[in-house]
Structure 1
């Protein structure tokens, strides 16, 4: 009888060990499935973020595609922008410094582009520009675009204004022009601007771009800074992209 009881106990122990192994395997399988799901979600999230970044990168500025209007879009209104009177209806002088090494003298004309100049005066007061990168260089090196809120070309949802001011009637932007980048809406001007490095003609069919001022010195030095061209890893459909030599605004003054 004792032998039978011993065999029963051993059988019961084997059954428990078997059931424990089965439960462990089931738990490990569930964990693997969970880890795989997390990995797939992570890959999808990274791809989505990359897609959004690329979308915003080519959202505004010269040559940007015209987006399809949506029912929720608000056009023709200023958002968070100062009154044009802040420009004081006068010419402002100042400097941009890039990479701590290249200084560009500028004039901003508050008589010809009062709303855009008011935007620059506002951004000077808030210390907006230092630290912002120049994210877009034309394929032919004709212009350099700077001032994006996140460094990838995204617009600032809390700061936009219009109308288009002082756009050239012949669509020719002379070298040294400082103009405002925008999307399809004439009231989508914001922080982003582009400096024209060589005479260039831009499509004016949607109203052109506000020329807010001119470079008074240092244009050749800025052209030299970006002479390496566009980073091949960032080239978009129109050939523009990040400068191969990264460019950051390290100083901005006006008076």
Structure 2
């Protein structure tokens, strides 16, 4: 009897051990499955996060592209004590300006029209200033006040008072009440100011561009410190006729040149709408 009970107990223990082993195995499988599911979920989160990040960056790039068509322009107003009776306060252009496309500048003179192409990618702020000043009739009925025929070949305009005596913007007392930074400096061009370009005068100091401009009617060697605004597309024959007529040498050797003997009056200067 004892032997039979012992055998029964041994069998029971064996069954229990098998059941426990089976349960342990099932528990291990369950934990393995949970680990796999957890890892999959984590991977899914990583993938989702990556997709979100890429999408967000893509949106940022799109926003950058959308805003890359504008430029931030800074206009520095002249202190009141530095203004003269010839200084014109015509307000300020906006600070956000387009830098995509082109404009046509038309200078309607007493000798005929002169036109120039302005690329906003090169000179967004200078173009914006001209557009603003033109809308205020700033240049209308003003004379081109300086002609240089030796060494340089330029016709200088843009001082409504026509009191300019030399090369620099400050040599003329008339102008707007603000200044702004130079753009599109031809540092890598030879010559820097070839025939046919229209460029901006300044005081010789950075950030001193105003309203005075010069039309180059013969290749000219100048330090590349003056904004190249655009390229003359018609009317160069008019400028060359003025150059051929000479000047009165009013400014002597130090400043160079003088008033054009063939008078040039800007009846009206306009800037077209932005194209392209």
Q: Report the TM-score range of the alignment, normalised by the length of the smaller protein.
A: 0.5 to 0.7
User: Given the superposition, is the C-alpha separation of residues 215 and 111 from structure 1 closer, same or farther in structure 2, using an over 3 Å criterion?
Assistant: same
Conserved? CA contact 1:87–1:121, under 8 Å? no
Alpha-carbon distance, 1:98 to partner: 1.8
User: Given the superposition, is the C-alpha separation of residues 235 and 242 from structure 1 closer, same or farther in structure 2, using an over 3 Å criterion?
Assistant: farther
- Map of 1:223 onto structure 2: 240
Alpha-carbon distance, 1:233 to partner: 4.0
- Give the number of the structure whose residues are more often strand, by fraction: 2
Tell whether 2:110 aligns with 1:90: no
- Structure 1 distance, partners of 2:180, 2:253, is 26
Gaps of 5+ in 2: 1-73, 78-90, 165-171
- Map of 2:46 onto structure 1: none
Cα displacement string for residues 157-208 of structure 1 (whole angstroms, at most 9, x for unaligned residues) = 612111x11111145211111111001222111110001111111023xxx1
- Map of 2:128 onto structure 1: 118
- Structure 2 distance, partners of 1:235, 1:130, is 28
- Map of 2:209 onto structure 1: 189
Match of 1:78 among 68, 76, 79: 76
Alpha-carbon distance, 1:92 to partner: 0.2
Give me the TM-score of the superposition, normalised by structure 1. 0.63
Q: Which secondary structure state, in structure 1, belongs to the residue aligned with residue 76 of structure 2?
A: coil
Q: Which secondary structure state, in structure 2, belongs to the residue aligned with residue 227 of structure 1?
A: helix
Tell whether 2:190 aligns with 1:166: no
RCO comparison, higher one (Cα < 8 Å, 6+):
1
Gaps of 5+ in 1: 1-75
How many residues are aligned here? 175
